[in-house]
Structures are given as structure tokens and as C-alpha cells.
Amino acid sequence: MNLRRLWAIARKEALHIRRDPRSLGLAIGIPMLMLLMFGYALTLDVDRVPLVVWDQSGTVASRDYIAQFTGSRYFQFVRAVANYRDLERAIDLRDAEIALVIPPDFASRIESAQTAPVQAVIDGSDSNTAAIVLGYTQAVTATYNQRIAVDQIRRAAGGLPAPALDLRPRVWFNEDLKSRNFIIPGLIAVIMGLIAALLTSLTVAREWERGTMEQLISTPVRAPEIILGKLAPYFVIGMVDVLIAVLMAVYLFDVPLLGSVPLLFAMAALFIIGTLAQGILISTLARQQLLASQIAMVSTFLPAFLLSGFMFAIPNMPTAVQVITYIVPARYFVALVKGIYQRGVGLETLWLDAVFLSVFSTVVAAAAIAKFRKRLE
């Protein structure tokens, strides 16, 4: 391999980029825009659930029970309703996701130590949200029941017995249980995979469409020199995108970076090399810029979003789909980024993912060079 020829190809590709400042701006701006949009819009937190109440009791006890919901950050009181028709209308109009129906004899039953039924009507059109809201409702009711039981025991026995268990939960790595701390690191992996493949998916196809590929074929430049020379400028752009994404995650979204920064960038460089080579391979096979960009979008963004473990837990997927995830490179980079970001672990724990990512980058780069050599012959 001749470094002088490689540098000439890299300089030629850099000139293409410099002469098209709009494309360069998009290469830098699109990751920032996507991170802003997904970072603020995509959340798994279920807070301030709109609540309507039909309080048929209208007593201190019923208002005390309702206060357990309205005093929580998980529920937001919307209004009181007077019948089932208003209750159903509030849910149909999406004004409320849950409605409480308190019977007229609520207070009398509690005072006489009887079970007081309370109906909770939950909008189940979004099954995941409904399950979370149901859990919130059960937790609030269990706490209220416990408080009533404690008061009854105190009045009957004149004191409280020592608890049999003293549960002290402790959350590691994401103490506040913010979904943003889980989403943003994985989002960086998904965006970088898409942008890197898109950047290079047009390079070889552009040469064919402009008629300059024949000139490259007639030169003594070898296929590895062309591939690596075309990768070099986009690798620099990709690493700049990674730097911007990491800075935004830490300083804009307040996502703590617990692990090694050099290790994070080393794994990012490995992933970007593989996805850039994937874009070159797509460009070589497609030979048309529009087709190449479409293939790059479908082959990078969708698998990374759906099959990498970024949003959906891989163990919960069907077995056949779990097998498919092993050929998705974003799976390994997402695991690496989340491990470095959230748990602060290093290669002693993440070495297997790093090995698979290295294999992916090597195989795809070799395939791109081999396929391009066939085009030269």
C-alpha cells in the first residue's frame, strides 16, 4: 500500500466535501437535530397521568384517599365528574387516562373496619402505559391500606409491633430511574450508525454517476488505497459527530458518563470504521446514489432501532429474532456505550462485545475492498 496514493485519494474526497458545504453541514447538523428530537421527545417515564374522580362519598376519608393520588407526581387531577357518562367521555377524549369511582358508603365501611370497594377505570389502548398506571394505582392504594391498618393496630394495641422485615432498596447506576439516562447513550449508537453509513453510501455511486470512476480505474491506485482514502475524511467527520453527541449528552441532557472517555471514543472509532465500510460496500453494489442512500437507511437505522437492545430488551424478543440480532453491529456498540456510560465498566466486562464489533469492522472492510476490486477488473 502506497501512503502517497492513499493520501491523494483522501485529499480528493476531502475536496468534494469542502466544495459542498451544505452536505458537510447536514453531516454535522443531522446528528445534533436527531439527538435533540429523540432526546426530548422519546421517554419511557410515565408521569402526571391525567386523573378524573367521581367521588360519591364526599367525605373526609374519600378526600384523603384522593389526596394520595393528587399529592403524587405520577398523577395530575383534571376534574371531578358526576356520572359514568362524563367519566367515559373524559377517557374517550383523552382528557384522562384513569378515573376513580368512590362509592357512597366509602367512609362508613372504613370506619367500621370493612372492605371498601373502589373502582379504577384505566384507558388500556396503550397497554404499556396502562400497565404502569395500574401499578401506580395499586401502589398508592396499598400505601393507603397500610396506613389505615397501622392506625387500627395502634388504637387496638396502644402501639405498633416491630416490623418483621426492614426493606431498604438501593438503585445502582441510575439512582433517579430516569429513562433519559437509558435512552441517550443508546441513541448515540443508533444515530452514529445511520450517519456513518449514509456519509459513505454515496461516494462510489457518485463516481459512477459522474463518470469519474473510469479515471480512477486507469490510475495505478489500488482498491485498498481507494477504499481507505475515501473512508479517511468521513472518519474524521464521524468522530466529530461522536464528540458533539457526547458533549450534548453530558452537558445538555445531564447524562452522567461514569466510564472511560478514551475507551468510549476507541469503541466509537471501531464502530464508525465498520459502518463507513458498510456504506462503501452498499455504494459499490448499488452504483446509484438514490438507491444506495435508501439501502443504507434500511440496513442501518431500522435494525439499530429495533434489534440492538436500544429500546426493546433482546431477551424479551422471540427466539428467531434474538438470533438475527447477533448480525446487527449496533447491538454490540449499544451494549458498549451503555456499559461505559451507565455502569462505568471497562473491557474486563465488555471484551466480548468489543471482539464482535472488531470482527464486524474487519469483515465488512474486507468485503468492501474485495467487491471494489472486482469492479476494477
3-state SS, residue 328:
coil
pLDDT at site 177: 73
Rounded Cα gap, residues 284 and 287, in angstroms: 6
Per-domain boundaries in the chain: 3-43+178-376, 49-147
* C-alpha distance from residue 231 to each of 172, 183, 184, 250, 373 (Å): 40, 29, 27, 28, 16
pLDDT digits (tens, 9 = 90+) for 4-22: 777 887 887 788 777 777 7
Phi, psi (degrees; rounded to nearest 5) at 197: -65, -40
Q: How many CB atoms lie within 10 A of CB 197?
A: 29
What is the 8-class DSSP label of residue 326?
A: T
* Adjacent-strand bridge partners of 50: 76
pLDDT at 1 over 80: no
Taking only the tens place, the pLDDT of each residue in 285-311 is 777 777 777 888 788 878 888 888 887
Question: Of 10-19, 27-36, 159-168, which range is least confident?
Answer: 159-168
Q: What mean pLDDT is predicted for residues 266-272?
A: 91
Above pLDDT 90, what percent of the chain? 19
User: pLDDT grade, residue 51 (50/70/90)?
Assistant: very high
Confidence of residue 47 (pLDDT cuts 50, 70, 90): confident
pLDDT at 376: 45
Per-residue pLDDT, averaged over 204-233, amounts to 73
Q: Exposed e or buried b for every residue in 51-63, given b needs 16+ CB within 10 A? A: bbbbbebebebbe
pLDDT at position 75 is: 92
Q: At what angle do helices 223-247 and 203-210 cross, to 10 degrees?
A: 130
Residue range 347-355: mean pLDDT, rounded: 90
List the single range of 33-47, 208-222, 326-340 with lowest mean pLDDT: 208-222
Q: What is the pLDDT of residues 69-112, one digit of tens each?
A: 988 888 999 999 989 899 999 999 889 999 999 999 988 888 88
**Cβ atoms of residues 277 and 364 within 8 Å:** yes
Phi and psi torsions of 171, nearest 5°:
-100, 125
What pLDDT score was predicted for residue 163?
66
- Please report, rounded to a whole number, the percentage of residues in the chain having pLDDT higher than 70: 92
Q: What is the mean pLDDT of the chain?
A: 83
> For 229-240, how does the pLDDT look when each residue is reduced to its tens digit (9 = 90+)?
888 888 888 888
Would you give the distance in Å from CA 342 to the centre of its chain? Answer: 13
Q: Is the pLDDT of residue 142 over 50?
A: yes
Question: 359 falls in which pLDDT band (50, 70, 90)?
Answer: very high
What local confidence, expressed as pLDDT, does residue 137 receive?
Answer: 92
For the domain made up of 49-147, give the CATH fold.
Answer: abc type-2 transporter like fold (3.40.1710)
Which residues fall within 8 angstroms of residue 78, CB to CB, at 6 or more apart?
Answer: 50, 51, 52, 90, 95, 96
Residues 171-189 have pLDDT tens digits of: 787 777 777 788 888 888 8
| The model's pTM | 0.76
